[in-house]
Amino acid sequence: MKRTLISFGVAFLVVVIVYISILFFDPGMNVEKAFNIIVLSFIGSAVLAALVLRLRRRRR
């Protein structure tokens, strides 16, 4: 459960950073494109964080 919460926390942090960077660098971006970027970055960062935490736990 702890690993899941950490993964979701990292994913939400990445989403906030991506959202702010979209607002600063390309405020006229299409809504569908911005939504796809945000959703896929959330999924990718959550999966990557879970894998890193799992591999880190195995090596200890």
The tokens of 41 are what?
């970055």
- Whose tokens are 């006229």? That residue is 28
Task: List per-residue pLDDT tens for the chain, 60 residues long.
Answer: 788 888 889 999 999 999 999 999 999 999 999 999 999 999 999 999 999 988 887 776
Write the single-letter amino acid at 26.
D
On whether the CB atoms of residues 11 and 46 are closer than 8 A, the answer is yes
* Nearest-angstrom CA–CA distance, 34 and 16: 12
**pLDDT at position 19:** 93
pLDDT at 17: 94
pTM: 0.80
Per-residue confidence (pLDDT) for residue 60, from 0 to 100: 65
User: Which pLDDT belongs to residue 39?
Assistant: 95
